[in-house]
Amino acid sequence: MSKKRKAAVIGAGIAGSSAALGLLNAGFEVTLYSDKDRKTLRDDVPATGTAIYFGKPSQEADAQIIENLYGEESFTDGFSVRGYNPDKTPLLSFDVDFRYFRAQGVDPRLRADDRIGRFIDRGGAFKVEAITPDRLDEIANQNDLTLVGTGKGGLIDIFEIDKSRTVYNEPQRYLLTINVAGLPYDGKAFNYRSKVGWKHNLFTSNEEQGEIFLGGILHKDIGHSWSILGFAKPNTDWQKRFDEASDAASTLRIFNEIIRDYFPEDAKEVAKFKTIESDSHSWLKGAVTPHVRKAVGFTKSGKPVAAIGDSAIIFDPIAGQGAQNVSIQVAALVKAAAEHTGAFDAQWITRQFDAHWTNHGYGATEATRLYLGDPKYADHLKALFPAAAVNDRAGSAFFRFQSEPSLILNLQTKEAIERYIENETGERFDELIKRFKPAEKFKSRE
């Protein structure tokens, strides 16, 4: 009988818990390390985003690790978009279905906790321990494969920034987010923006200030809830307001004030939201500099370890690519590890990440640049948004990049994106653009 291979996973967020469960299912003896116990991970830390899976690729990858544990009402199937000029006047709007498999928003603390529970129930070892670089070296020498899904304790420093794959050297947006209650999932919620109400997420932008996402999410305590994510451009009024957030109540107040001042048509509906009493960690603020790290690092004795999730690629969250990247990277890595019979050396780790970068990671970083309004994609946005305002299929084509981000890699010129719009809509691009007229007024809750 062959000896059972051993794996260690450092960090028990979605990346770490998914990898640990996947490797356990694949026949490895697995130890999952966390600096916090399971209850603390679930109830005493903030939700780091929405963990939305857009479309089939990420959801099918995740299904290789664990089946869908959440109900039909964890899914949304489109977006209501409104764009405002810098002077706060209406510019354009569209309300579209994805035209691909649905999106699923679940509290990342719930996703991770369910995976940890399944992992423990199936015999995985869960150890609460703060891992230092010295301890990581010991662990790596005791295991055949070691994965790092956390940057705590200085562990991220063993993974060098990959300058050839990193575009930005400073944050592109400042984030403020909160999960809220108080508005039921029914046909009335935001029905003035979409005929299907809550089934379509809201994406509202001011060209000068930034963007606000609002959509349904399954909260760890109360189930059906809502997530509000604000993305403030640097050195703006929104950023100054975001800086004042100090708890859930102040965060919700700031969002109410911003929406009242910049998007008044939504103010009456948003004013119905309430903080979630059971969750004092329902809010989060901060900023990240998007970057890519080399996926293999070395402990002090020279043992190779692999970066997963945010330890490998950290995204600006505006395009919702973080959780998707995790699901696709981890599923592919688990499959490759199960099929591999040799040593998990630096070359093997590098090959797996390079394959992931080619198949998904690069496209996800470029799609995020598109949604950030990076100058590289200025012509794309000038084409996509007015086309979407006059043809629903163009709007669906825009959001298709969330589900299939690598599509953008073959659409790098103005001509290419115009052909893409024509193929998706069945109309000539110049005819579409001729029909675009700036919005005069947006509907609101009466």
- pLDDT tens across 242-257, in order? 999 999 999 999 999 9
DSSP 202-234: EEEEETTTEEEEEEEEEETTTEEEEEEEEEEPT
Give me the pLDDT at residue 389, please: 96
Phi, psi (deg, nearest 5) at residue 274: -130, 155
> What average pLDDT does the segment 219-237 reach?
97
Q: Say if CB 6 and CB 28 are below 8 A apart.
A: yes
Mean pLDDT computed over every residue of the chain = 95
Q: Is the pLDDT of residue 446 over 80?
A: no
In this structure, the dihedral spanned by the alpha carbons of residues 332, 337, 338 and 340, taken in order and rounded to 10 degrees, is: 120
Query: To the nearest 10°, the Cα dihedral for 238, 243, 248, 250?
Result: -80
Q: How confident is the model at residue 47 (pLDDT cuts 50, 70, 90)?
A: confident
User: Whole-angstrom Cα distance, residue 304 to residue 24?
Assistant: 20
Beta pairing, strands 53-54 & 200-206:
unpaired
The reply to whether CATH 3.50.50.60 applies to domain 6-65+106-168+289-369 is yes
- pLDDT digit string (tens) for 177-213? 999 999 999 889 999 999 999 999 999 999 999 999 9
What is the signed CA dihedral for 178, 180, 184, 185, rounded to 10 degrees?
A: 30
DSSP annotation of 322 reads: H
pLDDT of the residue at 1: 46
Contact call for residues 290 and 368 (beta carbons, < 8 A): yes
Q: Does pTM surpass 0.75? A: yes
Q: What is the CA radius of gyration of the chain?
A: 22
Q: Which residue has the tokens 């089934």?
A: 199
Domain ranges of the chain: 6-65+106-168+289-369, 72-105+171-287, 374-434
pLDDT digits (tens, 9 = 90+) for 316-366: 999 999 999 999 999 999 999 999 999 999 999 999 999 999 999 999 999
pLDDT, residue 2, reads: 64
DSSP-derived secondary structure letter, 32: E
Q: Is the pLDDT of residue 273 over 60?
A: yes
* Contact indicator for 332, 340 with CB cutoff of 8 Å: no
Is 60 exceeded by the pLDDT of residue 22? yes
Total H helices, total E strands in the chain:
15, 19
Q: Is the pLDDT of residue 50 over 80?
A: no
Which is more confidently placed, 2 or 205? Answer: 205
pLDDT exceeds cutoff 60 at 293 = yes
Length of the chain: 446
Say yes or no: domain 72-105+171-287 is CATH 2.40.30.10.
no
Which residue, 229, 167, 84, 233, is CA-closest to 368? Answer: 167
User: How large is the average pLDDT for residues 84-102?
Assistant: 93
Cite the beta strand spans of 299-347 per DSSP E. 304-307, 313-314
Residue where the block lists tokens 């890595």 = 333
Domains 6-65+106-168+289-369 and 72-105+171-287 alike in fold: no
Enter the DSSP assignment of 236: S
